[in-house]
Amino acid sequence: MMGAAVQMASSPNVEANLIEAERLIAAAADAGAKLIVLPENFACMGMSEFDKLGIREDDHSGPIQEFLARMAQQHSAWVVGGTAPMAARSPDKVRASCLVYDDRGRRVARYDKIHLFDVDVPGTDERHRESNTIEAGDRPVVLETPFGNLGVAICYDLRFPELFRSMLDDGMEILAVPAAFTAETGAAHWELLVRARAVENLCYVIAADQGGFHLNNRHTFGGSMIVDPWGEVLSRLANGTGHACAEIDLSRLYKVRQTFPVLQHRRLVCQ
């Protein structure tokens, strides 16, 4: 099975972003991808962090969700929909939700981002406070697919290995990571973290990052990649828009886990 990580440089214009995402999804599908992962905030990178409140959608209703369902059905591919701003309990916040659609356009999973990016980026004047506008989730997600058990995480989640151990205990074999890493943190840690999550959990990772300059003066890193359970980068898109595409081979995963049984040697197991 071919998997793809789509890379974009999204703008504040939702309609324009969906047109671009449609083009990139079609290109990935034409390359043979049956599991396509979009980056975080693919539908909108607002001028202000509060812009997402104006486009938030109710569960199972809204143009972003309709778009994702249509793309999955049209291309007969599973689509991991980056993040969409979904209604939260608080009226002045959203959930950063990664919605997964099967190849018939049916929504089969929703993961709400657990770890929120409340940091001052070292060496820059960038200050991020996602908790001002995002309500954190609290439940990891692993779902069965025809390609293997798929776990979903979002961007800053990558820095919390205990999340992935929990997902591993739920059977994770493939990990999808939509992201929007800053240029600075991406240069320092993006590949390191993506490959570490693959190696320590002996799983495939499909990591789709925003990549480029945005109208809100943000610069995201890019470097979308697919990594195998031994930590080998199978495909990478360093810069620009497009996709990284590679074969996801569960027989290789099973062989690695059997011949290098590190997962069986765990002593401290998440409860």
Domains, the chain, ordered by start? 2-265 (3.60.110.10)
Catalytic residue among 34, 52, 93, 113: 113
The pLDDT of residue 78 is: 99
Residues 6+ apart with CB under 8 A from 234: 225, 226, 227, 228, 246, 247
22 noted as active-site residue: no
40 noted as active-site residue: yes
**Interatomic CA distance for residues 260 and 42, integer angstroms:** 37
Catalytic residue among 44, 98, 130, 155: 155
The pLDDT of residue 125 is: 83
Query: How many other C-beta atoms can be found within 10 angstroms of the C-beta atom of residue 212?
Result: 18
The pLDDT of residue 269 is: 73
Closest CA to 97 of 59, 149, 132, 144: 59
Give me the residues of the chain with pLDDT under 70, please. Answer: 270-271
Catalytic residue among 20, 34, 40, 135: 40
155 noted as active-site residue: yes
The pLDDT of residue 54 is: 96
Tell me the pLDDT tens digit for each residue of 155-192.
Answer: 999 999 999 999 999 999 999 999 999 999 999 999 99
Tell me the pLDDT tens digit for each residue of 56-80.
Answer: 999 999 999 999 999 999 999 999 9
**Interatomic CA distance for residues 15 and 153, integer angstroms:** 25
pTM here is 0.97
**Interatomic CA distance for residues 140 and 150, integer angstroms:** 11
The pLDDT of residue 271 is: 57
